[in-house]
Structure 1
């Protein structure tokens, strides 16, 4: 990826462009690179910021959704950001939802793609065969509609992660925290505009999850991408960006 990662006071992040802030949050097995096409498209008109979530750095006892939301809030205050539009994929969407309920003053609008928070078919709950490269490859391919999106580089990265004992313990703790922290009773509190961009073939947070989000969020719109799995901004970046641009034009450029 062509972007420089900045490091300041315990934060690692990408900060590209100028203008209203788009704050991008990656998923549990995600990385900064997942948002590459979004950065390239929107940095000309917006300030695009991606903090690296400290999924593997938190103390085990505090590893959970709420801790990540507190971290993002702390980052927003540290960078003196106001009224951000937050975009979250998978676990990142869940963190955005918690942030929007605990610190609504920080959020102007929200975009969710394959977000957890209601129901997710997790990576497996445990990794009984984590030493098996083929097993991990199959799990990574499960994320996408088109298996070829699961490049060797991506599979290698996940394989390395799940074979690191400290990391895998935290992944499991975070996954359990996500399941425990169901947002269904809190979503009515989120009154900012929310854009749902969902893969019709998402097997991790299936289409009915998107429909439920749409029903429970008071000010939401739902956009489908066909032949698409859990990470639409990676699998169909042009279509994802088109929906995103229309939403931003409507809610930010009034």
Structure 2
């Protein structure tokens, strides 16, 4: 995938297909490859799939926050000249998508969240990682999924590398604290953007009741469950995730 990435100014991103842009926002410990299933499927359905790399570790510590990332996405959408987009976010990416939708509703015609933070204060991990403890990191990575085998050695190695870097670890903790501070419960009832909520029934990071709360608080939302599924539905059950999302997009005439 790295070979397909474009770099324009401060933006690095992947763009595939033509049509309404689906702008995908990855999580704190996630990457663009988490959405391989979405990348393969939706360009064939008449959508442009766009994955910007979030500048999680390249901004100054003072600017490392959910709010700054939401502004970054707005700047990216403006840079690309998109008029209306569908925002899709997992975990921290869902939180950023929610905040961007609140701040810039004119840019977002549809919102899709899965395993999103924004309501649940432990969503970013209550015991954040110990440097140099590979087995601890491995267990935390496996806990993200219903099937621990989904946490491949490559995924565990990537997380371990991130938290072993002191600068990245400090920024990871700053982002987690920012997400906890930025609870969106009071904002959601005023957000009228059509929203698709796809959630794993076995999510240990953002439990099922979080999805129910999102669905209750958002005025125009639909909630879909995936069984035997943890925090990253688009990775564990990519085919079902794509079907649920595609059916919702068709239903909403997006």
* TM-score, normalization by structure 2: 0.97
1:122 paired to 2:124: yes
Equivalent-residue separation in structure 2 for 1:27 and 1:126 (angstroms): 15
Paired residue for 1:66? 67
Q: Deviating runs (4+, > 4 A) in structure 1? A: none
8 Å CA contact 1:162, 1:168 repeated in 2: yes
- What is the Cα deviation at residue 188 of structure 1? 1.4
8 Å CA contact 1:125, 1:175 repeated in 2: no
Equivalent-residue separation in structure 2 for 1:214 and 1:21 (angstroms): 24
Task: Provide structure 2 residue ranges, at least 5 long, that are not aligned to the other structure.
Answer: none
Paired residue for 1:185? 186
Equivalent-residue separation in structure 1 for 2:59 and 2:209 (angstroms): 32
Paired residue for 2:26? 26
Alignment of 1:77-156 (within 5 A): 77-119=78-120, 120-127=122-129, 129-156=130-157
8 Å CA contact 1:25, 1:51 repeated in 2: yes
Paired residue for 1:49? 50
- What is the Cα deviation at residue 121 of structure 1? 3.6
| SS at structure 2 position matched to 1:21 | strand
- What is the Cα deviation at residue 125 of structure 1? 4.4
- What is the Cα deviation at residue 2 of structure 1? 7.7
8 Å CA contact 2:124, 2:179 repeated in 1: no
The count of residues paired between Structure 1 and Structure 2 equals 252
* TM-score, normalization by structure 1: 0.97
Q: Output the aligned Cα RMSD.
A: 1.1
8 Å CA contact 1:228, 1:235 repeated in 2: yes
8 Å CA contact 1:121, 1:203 repeated in 2: no
| SS at structure 2 position matched to 1:7 | strand
- What is the Cα deviation at residue 79 of structure 1? 0.5
- What is the Cα deviation at residue 192 of structure 1? 1.4
Equivalent-residue separation in structure 2 for 1:73 and 1:235 (angstroms): 29
